[in-house]
Chain A
Amino acid sequence: MTDLMTDPATAALPAPPKRRKALWLRELALLPALVIVFVIGASISDTFLTFNTIRDILTAAAALSLVVLGESLVLLTGKFDLSLESTMGIAPAVGVMLVIPAASAGFGTEIPVWLGLLAIPVVGALIGLLNGFLIVKLKLNAFIVTLAMLTILRGTQIGSTKGKTLFDQLDPFTALATTTFAGLPMSVWLAAVLFVLFGLGLRYHRAGRALYAIGGNREAARAAGIRVDRISWAVFVVAGVLAAIGGLAYTGYVGAIGGNQGDGLILQVFAAAVIGGVSLDGGKGTLVGALTGVILLQSVDYLLHVAQVPAEWLKAIYGGIVLVALIISRYAGGKPQT
């Protein structure tokens, strides 16, 4: 029987080749799709391949990307937040209404502009705080809690503005998108800076690693001494703040705050994150991936406008494209999207 003995060293698992490189490729799995969008765009319009196109796509993507950033953080911890799309609307609306006079549909408080601007992230934080309390502390179901919150916030916004669009004396609130630096609006620069900061934080800071661990296995994270509840709760707050800032960027982009600002955007937010490889189960995904997801969706959006697709069909086509993008990224990434 001893002649059957094998050297244990040869029985060891073979080294998986260059896992690191494979991971990086997965991050950029959407690049080919992006290239295809630009090739189609160039064939439709001579002016597609210009800096203006890039600028327009990035400008439009800035607001969405901030919400996707917040949602990705929540998804990494294994939770999710649908209400971010309403936060995007109500937070800037409240900020504006605290500043503008009652004659322009404000609250009549007419506080200084800087306080009004500050109120926007504070409103986002308070919404996140409440979401976190209900989901993390009371252990209610995240889906229903944030769906209810989405509806409550949307209704509150429409109720308090009486359904009117805010457009009067908005200048300080649109400055984020109208002021430019090096040819790009400040909102794009802000989004870029935040993505870099959070991206580095996720990779290089203990808090970032804690998010991954919590999403990967809550019990193991707790047993390793991570304050799971506290961090999960904090992530809801951070996501609320980011969505509020995203809302401000959106206000500047549109130049007004409609009662439906952000309405239906949560589909794009989830699609961008999932296409970009962020797992809905938590613990997997990167901001680089999520960002490429945003840019791909926004490029397709732009392409549809350039191709002069009838406006009444945009919604259906857009939904279809989200599905196709999911299928492509499923096979480009090679892993089931859970």
Chain B
Amino acid sequence: MTALPAGSSAVPVVSAHGVGKRYGPTVALADVSLTVHPGESHALVGRNGAGKSTLVSILTGLSKTDTGHVEFGGEPAPPASKQDDWKQRVACVYQHAMVIPQLTVAENLFLNRQSGGGFAIGWSKLRRKSRELLDSWDVRVDVDTPAGELSVENRQFVEIARALSYGARFIVLDEPTAQLDSQAIDRLFERMRQMQAGGVTFLFISHHLHEVYEVCQAVTVLRDARHVLTAPVSEVSHTELIDAMTGEQGGLAVRDAATRDALPADAAEILAVEGLSGDGFGDVSFRIHRGEVIGLAGSNASGKHQVAETVYGLRSPSAGTVSVDGRRLRPGDIPAALRAGIGCVPRDRHHEGLVLEHSIMDNTTLSILDRMGRGGIAAPRTRYAKASKALVDYDIVAAGAEQPVSDLSGGNQQKVVLARALASDPRVVVLINPTAGVDVKSKEALLAVVDRVRAEGKAVLIVSDELDDLRLSDRVLVLRAGAVVAEHQAGWSDGDLVADIEGVRER
């Protein structure tokens, strides 16, 4: 539908030449060049900390370069003080919302220019202009809705439309698919292709490499603050891409459950979930044995997260029971779940996984404060020792146990969450999106830990959107609209599982 960029004949939309940036002693970007041609979707990939965010902040005028320069359409970038000039050239849609939730879509679209040059705001005119703007890009959103009530998908479309209204035809999408389910991702890609046809150029950032192949024409890889490769996606294989990101050969090494010995027939049952019902799911039952891994798959609306959160007590069930070693847990009681031997990696590390401003030692010991010493004493020395051991055990890259977790990369933050979940030496481990938003290398490390604790005889429940995470499972249960609709034994094919998740299986 869209012609591939015709090489260097057209003037590039944006080109960065030898861009470098330091923050104190840390080199965030070293001699990176990037050229994006008009009408293409250019993928920018790399592990956490590879320099993607720094490059984006330079390309959008939020930071100044230390070395090198940036050009838009062959002309030098405007000075940092002229934010309006930047807005006419480039815009970024971030993972977190950049709209004001209480104001309507219309006011958000024309924020700080509501009156269009006049003195008073003409509300009917503002709404009409907003309507026209959204219609022209085929965004179906009511302009009177408060922006905070939009779905993630629609919020992104509104932000894209706002960027386009400033005249920018180069849009940076920073992990736009991270919070979308697969139907929404398909709609986003469809919209991206339409806009491409209308002359919009995208820089697309994602941790999901298959998306790069689906929607992009060219890809640039950054690693350790440096440029590693730029090529048309048709010329780079999946494995080559992973190698370029990690600097190693061999791709993602996750041990498939099908390759290990079958579970012994007499393995003791540890976790029993019976007829569990609650907000968004109903009558879910399963059992997990010693050394067994069960995966829960489904779309974001399938209720899979809620099931796992209910097992740990983050939510109260409306019916059904959760038992560990045959003993029923008090519903909705996290301390009881912890005492019974359940550890949990919650769904979102920023929201409920970590106290970001607190140190690693505070975070890793948060759920075991009651077992550090007599009478509830939790001495800094004991906590420091525990956390220092966790740094080694879970391969967390940090200056020390007293470093705040906000300083760490996403992958290392997630390792801290996992360390805390395992700190109580639980018998059951509940993992919800354990590798969300982390790079390939950290993902391997995290999954290796999961495989290790499985081998130690723990019962593991993994809920994930990522097939790689589910690969460790002896069985994968697929949920749709809150009910278990299918079960796959280890060795499933991607196509079969995805078809069940999406409910598109042909029978």
A residues sitting closer than 8 Å to B (CB atoms) are: 1-2, 4-6, 8, 11-16, 19-20, 203-207, 209-210, 212-213, 216-217, 219-227, 283-284
Contacts and interface: CB of A to CB of B under 8 A. Distances in A.
B403 A206 contact: no
A181 to B, nearest CB: 29
A2 B378 contact: no
B141 to A, nearest CB: 29
Interface in B304-352: 312, 314, 334-335, 337-338, 344, 346, 351-352
A19 B402 contact: yes
A213 B376 contact: no
A210 B367 CA distance: 10
Nearest to A16: B399
Contact of A205 (B25, B334, B352, B378): B378
Given A4-B226, A222-B334, A223-B344, A206 B351 contact: no
A20 B344 CA distance: 31
A205 B380 contact: no
B43 interface: no
Contact of B380 (A203, A223, A224): A203
Interface string B397-414: 111101100010000000
Nearest to B376: A206
Contact of A13 (B346, B354, B398): B398
15 contacts: A6-B223, A6-B226, A8-B247, A11-B224, A15-B400, A16-B403, A203-B380, A209-B378, A213-B358, A216-B355, A220-B346, A220-B353, A220-B355, A222-B352, A226-B335
Given A2-B247, A204-B378, A209-B378, A15 B358 contact: no
Interface of B: 25-26, 49, 223-229, 244, 247, 312, 314, 334-335, 337-338, 344, 346, 351-358, 362, 365-367, 369-370, 372, 376-380, 397-400, 402-403, 407, 420
Contact of A204 (B314, B355, B362, B377): B377
B362 A14 contact: no
Contact of A212 (B312, B346, B358, B398): B358
Contact of A225 (B26, B334, B356, B403): B334
Chain B CB count within 10 A is highest, among A16, A206, A212, A220, for: A220
Chain B CB count within 10 A is highest, among A205, A223, A284, for: A223
A19 B407 CA distance: 13
A225 B338 contact: yes
Contact of A206 (B25, B227, B228, B372): B372
Contacts of A222: 314, 334, 352
Contacts of B247: 2, 5, 8
Contacts of B26: 13-14
B225 to A, nearest CB: 7
Contacts of B244: 1
A141 B39 CA distance: 51
B379 A221 contact: no
Given A12-B397, A213-B362, A220-B352, A20 B402 contact: yes
Given A13-B397, A226-B369, 6 more contacts: A1-B228, A11-B225, A13-B399, A14-B25, A15-B400, A222-B314
Contact of B352 (A5, A210, A223, A283): A223
A285 to B, nearest CB: 12
A205 B377 contact: yes
B366 A221 contact: yes
A11 B30 CA distance: 12
A8 B224 contact: yes
